Each structure stands twice: as C-alpha cells, then as structure tokens.
Amino acid sequence: MEKRKLGRGNLEVSALGLGCMGMSFSYGVVHDENEMISLMHKAVDLGVNFFDTAEVYGPFTNEVLVGKALAPIRDKVVIATKFGFNMKPDGSPGWLGLNSRPEHIKLVADASLKRMNIESIDLFYQHRVDPDVPIEDVAGAVKDLIQAGKVKHFGLSEAGAQTIRRAHAVQPVTALQSEYSLWWRKPEAEILPTLEELGIGMVPYSPLGKGFLTGKMDDTTELGKTDFRSQLPRFSTEARKANQSFVNLLGDIAKQKGATPAQIALAWLLAQKPWIVPIPGTTKLSRLEENIGAASLKLSVADLAEINDAISRVPVEGDRYPEHLEKMTGR
C-alpha cells in the first residue's frame, strides 16, 4: 500500500489506517482477543501500519489489546492514542467530563505508555477540546512530552479552525482527526482549507458512516442497547429508511466501477487530498480486505465530479450526534 505524509510533520503512514475502537468498545459485541490480534497482524501483512486507539475505548482495554498485538512488530507500526476525559473510578464505560489540564495529560501519557508497553506514543491526540483549559496550555503540555521523548507527534480531534491555529502556534499539530465522509462533509467548509494552509494532515474517522455506507444496514437492522449508534439521530429507524436512497446511489456508482460501496466511499476520501488518511474500523477479515482494496481504486476527475453531482442531490436525514455530544465538537 502506498504511504502518505500527514501534513508537514514528516509522519509517514499507510494510506489507510485501522481504527481499533470497535474491537473493544461501542458496538455492543465482545470480540475474541486472539481473533483481534490476528486481524491486526493481517492488516500489517496487507500494508497497514497506522493503528488508532484511545484510553476511553473500553475504557483502557483497547489500548491494552493494541499494545499486546503490536508488540512483536512495534518497529513497523505507528500507534495513535488520545487523552482528554476524566474516566470513571470504577473503570466502567463512559466518562465524567472533559479534562485536558496539563498535569492530567502527563498522567494519561504515562498510563497509556504502560498499558501499551511502549516507550513513546507516535501520535497523541486531544480527544475533544476542553473549554476550561486554554489550548495553548494543552499544546504546551504535549510539547513537554515530546521533549521528554514520551510522545512524537501532537494531534487534535474535532477541533475548530481557530483552536487548531492557536495550538499549532505553540506546538506544531501533525494531524487532525475528525469525522469526514461522503455523508458528513462539513470539514470541507473551513477545516480542510485551514489544514492545507498550516500543513496539517487529516485523519477521517467513521469514513464509512459508522457502517451505514457499506450497504449492509437498512431500517430493519436491529441495533442493541449497548450499540452506541442506537443513540444517534442519523441511525433512528426513520432516518435509516430515509437515508437508504443515499446508499443505493452509492451502490449504483460502485457497480459501474466494479467495486463495493465501501470502496467507493474510501477511494473518494483518498482522492480529496494527498494528506488525508482514513481509518476505517472493522473486526472482520473480509471487511479489512475489502477496505484495503480501496487504496488501489483510482477515481478520475470525471468519476469524482459524477459522484459529487449525484450525492449532492440526495439529502441526508438526521443529525450525526445528539446535542450533548455534538456541542463537544468544533470548538
């Protein structure tokens, strides 16, 4: 698989990464540890070297899993994790609010290093912007960690353009991780131009619309109570029924190209900018292989124009997050 540089930060990674959250968290299914380790090893065999986790995934268990899986091949991979929440004392899922105080960031870094059994974190993201802590203080804390050799690169997640600028002025930001896909294109208005100007890479999470753009879900799909998508307005039964036309259109385009809807969605993202690296998550080998196939699918200017024209005619029903989660983004 081709490599890409995340902005001007000289962090070179595979064109597609692997989001590991779903292996331990959010989708209501407990997966076999050995199967997940095997899947990560297969990803490396297929050219993936960029793995994404966070302390909040589990909590903590996903970092442990990723660290265990990648320990034998640590020199071949790039590991990204995140800070920014107060975790529950009993270790149960969820969090007790945001916390990006400098002293807390440094404690989280040490804990993440220990859980993953690594000497340095390749890319350390602020998971969500904390309105109670100046972003300059956050960037300064990560700068200290970089100087101490505990972190190599600084990242932000779901931050607004002005926050990105202020952070970057203190410690260069290597990458912004935010949702971006064919059915969430808000970053195009202000975020992508800011990143291009500053030389910052973009790491889209949920590039397949949390699974909906694969074409394997519809309004009859049962979402369990522990599946976090059941809380999202865009995944209500009514919204999924209304959004089916969007996926059908993607399927028609995919047939023309001899590809799958997921591959078109990922190839479209890869074609937007050379510094964009999507991180689709999966727990299935067949899906991993399908997603990786998108890296070799080239869309022409005419293909992109056709996709953009077709998609622009299909409205998307439902907000991506409920209000209490959406207000944590774009700060």
Q: What is the 3-state secondary structure (H, E, C) of 5-44?
A: ECCCCCCEEECCCEECHHHCCCECCCCCHHHHHHHHHHHH
- The DSSP line for 279-313 is --B-S-HHHHHHHHHGGG-PPPHHHHHHHHHHHHT
Model pLDDT, residue 274: 97
Model pLDDT, residue 325: 95
Model pLDDT, residue 28: 74
Model pLDDT, residue 106: 98
Task: Catalogue all structural domains in the chain, each as residue range(s) with its CATH number.
Answer: 3-211+272-292 (3.20.20.100)
Each of the 331 residues of the chain gets a pLDDT tens digit; together they read 999 999 898 999 999 999 999 999 878 788 999 999 999 999 999 999 999 999 999 999 999 999 999 999 999 999 999 999 999 988 888 899 999 999 999 999 999 999 999 999 999 999 999 999 999 999 999 999 999 999 999 999 999 999 999 999 999 999 999 999 999 999 999 999 999 999 999 999 999 999 999 999 999 999 988 899 999 999 999 999 999 999 999 999 999 999 999 999 999 999 999 999 999 999 999 999 999 999 999 999 999 999 999 999 999 999 999 999 999 999 9
Model pLDDT, residue 91: 86
Would you name the residues annotated as active-site residues? 57
What's the distance, CA 16 to chain centroid? 11
Model pLDDT, residue 137: 98
CB atoms within 10 A of CB 163: 22
Model pLDDT, residue 30: 80
DSSP reduced 3-state for 1:
coil
Model pLDDT, residue 215: 93
Six token digits for residue 316: 């998307």
Model pLDDT, residue 62: 97
Closest CA to 28 of 180, 210, 252: 210
Three-class SS of 72-111? HHHHHCEEEEEECEEECCCCCCCEEEECCCHHHHHHHHHH
Model pLDDT, residue 9: 84
